């Protein structure tokens, strides 16, 4: 039996991050012998800053780059020029952000020796790693999952091995984690630049840069709202409840990340499929969306049923109350997967402003619900707020994108074929 391309690619994108998670999980017991909680706190702070700069900052240009790769006929200027402009704009943005952040970040007292060097290593890894991320996005949109997986595993395993040597053998402490991160990015940067060379070094006109910016600009704010939706409840719990409640919720969030990985990884295979078939095969897209949604629902239900057993038998009894919040967050992750399907429709229609407005409204709802529910239900209240917000986000995205497939050019073609058969 021939396995559909979408299923094969989804399997690759799901398996690779799971493999990365397993490697990271196995290293945690080793690193905890060499770091204090404050050391981990310093690394967590610095690494999150790097992640924000390298992943979420250029998201708008990234989306324009992906759109130009898969739908070249949708641009007024030459699609190659738009691709170059989008990629080069993202590179410049990350470089400037890293340079501007360094004098600010070095003022933060992380309590580690050689704090300035730590920030230099993290920001260097951020810029280098961004080029690797751009190459992976190119492989994803061109439906080259094997190249994506090779780059992902090579950089991830190199990071793990280099970090282990730097921390355990060389005794570099937190600097060893930053050095490992830079080593992993450095291994991937040469093949990344080779795959990006046509767009990275070509000339981009001002008009093509403006067109890429017009498409991607609302997505900068969309990404910011999405980040707040995911993380603002942690800050509100810390302010409005107790640290033990924050710990309960943090564990639930870590366990529910399994659903997020499934949704995000499957979407990496789904987006190029959507771009490829949108114009001529809308009914195929609708059928694929139904299968993907059923897969998300099955994964979420399985996680919801397994979570109490896992927490009861493998987690310390102090965290027993995290069972129900975990189930709520797993359900929220399912609706987040549904939201990805609807978001793809808006992106293919170039309705990026609508995506931003809907996500910002869901984030505002999430903040209001947390403000109301955390004082009454603590961690469980934050989980309910996430579930309700994710459902409303999906519902709003569905409402604004519900006619996308019927408005696509392929819908008319399909109707004429059906009428003549």
pLDDT tens sequence across 263-312: 887 887 788 888 877 777 778 888 888 888 999 999 999 999 988 888 88
Please give the span between the terminal C-alpha atoms of the chain, in angstroms, as a whole number: 28
**Which of 8-22, 66-80, 139-153, 400-414 is predicted with the least confidence, judged by mean pLDDT?**
400-414
Given a cut of 90, whether residue 332 has pLDDT beyond it is: yes
Cα–Cα dist 173/365, whole Å: 41
**Which of 65-74, 151-160, 346-355 is predicted with the least confidence, judged by mean pLDDT?**
65-74
Cβ atoms of 78 and 210 closer than 8 Å: no
Most confident of 15-29, 154-168, 245-259: 154-168
Give the pLDDT of residue 331.
Answer: 94
Give the DSSP letter string of 74-111: G-SS-HHHHHHHHHHHHHHHHHHHHHHHHHHHTTS---
Give the DSSP letter string of 135-192: HHHHHHHTT-HHHHHHHHHHHHHHHHHHHHIIIIIS--THHHHHHHHHHHHHHHHHHH
Cα–Cα dist 28/26, whole Å: 6
Mean pLDDT value across the chain: 80
Give the pLDDT of residue 411.
Answer: 46
193-210: average pLDDT: 84
Given a cut of 80, whether residue 75 has pLDDT beyond it is: no
Give the pLDDT of residue 174.
Answer: 81
56-61: average pLDDT: 67
């Amino acid at each position: 039996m021939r396995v559909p391309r979408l299923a094969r690619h989804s399997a690759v994108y799901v398996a690779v991050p799971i493999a990365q998670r397993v490697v990271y999980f196995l290293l945690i017991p080793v690193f905890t012998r060499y770091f204090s909680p404050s050391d981990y706190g310093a690394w967590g702070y610095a690494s999150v800053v790097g992640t924000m700069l390298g992943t979420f900052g250029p998201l708008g240009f990234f989306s324009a780059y992906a759109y130009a790769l898969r739908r070249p006929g949708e641009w007024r200027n030459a699609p190659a020029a738009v691709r170059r402009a989008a990629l080069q704009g993202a590179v410049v943005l990350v470089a400037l952000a890293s340079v501007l952040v360094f004098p600010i970040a070095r003022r933060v007292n992380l309590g580690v020796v050689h704090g300035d060097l730590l920030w230099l290593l993290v920001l260097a890894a951020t810029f280098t790693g961004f080029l690797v991320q751009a190459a992976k996005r190119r492989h994803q949109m061109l439906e080259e999952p094997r190249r994506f997986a090779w780059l992902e595993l090579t950089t991830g395993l190199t990071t793990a091995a280099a970090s282990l040597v730097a921390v355990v053998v060389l005794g570099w402490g937190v600097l060893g984690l930053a050095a490992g991160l830079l080593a992993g990015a450095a291994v991937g940067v040469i093949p990344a630049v080779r795959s990006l060379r046509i767009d990275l070094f070509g000339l981009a006109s001002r008009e093509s840069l403006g067109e890429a910016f017009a498409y991607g600009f609302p997505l900068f704010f969309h990404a910011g709202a999405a980040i707040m939706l995911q993380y603002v409840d942690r800050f509100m719990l810390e302010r409005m409840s107790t640290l033990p409640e924050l710990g309960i919720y943090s564990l639930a969030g870590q366990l529910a990340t399994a659903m997020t990985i499934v949704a995000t990884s499957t979407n990496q295979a789904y987006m190029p499929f959507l771009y490829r078939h949108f114009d001529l095969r809308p009914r195929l897209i609708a059928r694929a969306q139904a299968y993907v949604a059923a897969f998300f629902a099955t994964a979420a239900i399985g996680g919801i049923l397994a979570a109490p057993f896992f927490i009861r038998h493998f987690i310390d009894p102090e965290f027993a109350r995290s069972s129900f919040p975990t189930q709520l967050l797993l359900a929220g992750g399912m609706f987040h997967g549904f939201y990805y399907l609807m978001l793809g429709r808006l992106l293919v229609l170039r309705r990026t402003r609508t995506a931003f407005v809907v996500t910002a409204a869901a984030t505002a709802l999430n903040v209001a619900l947390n403000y109301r529910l955390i004082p009454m239900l603590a961690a469980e209240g934050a989980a309910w707020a996430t579930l309700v917000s994710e459902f409303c986000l999906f519902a709003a995205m569905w409402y604004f994108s519900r006619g996308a497939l019927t408005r696509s050019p392929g819908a008319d073609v399909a109707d004429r074929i059906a009428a003549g058969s």
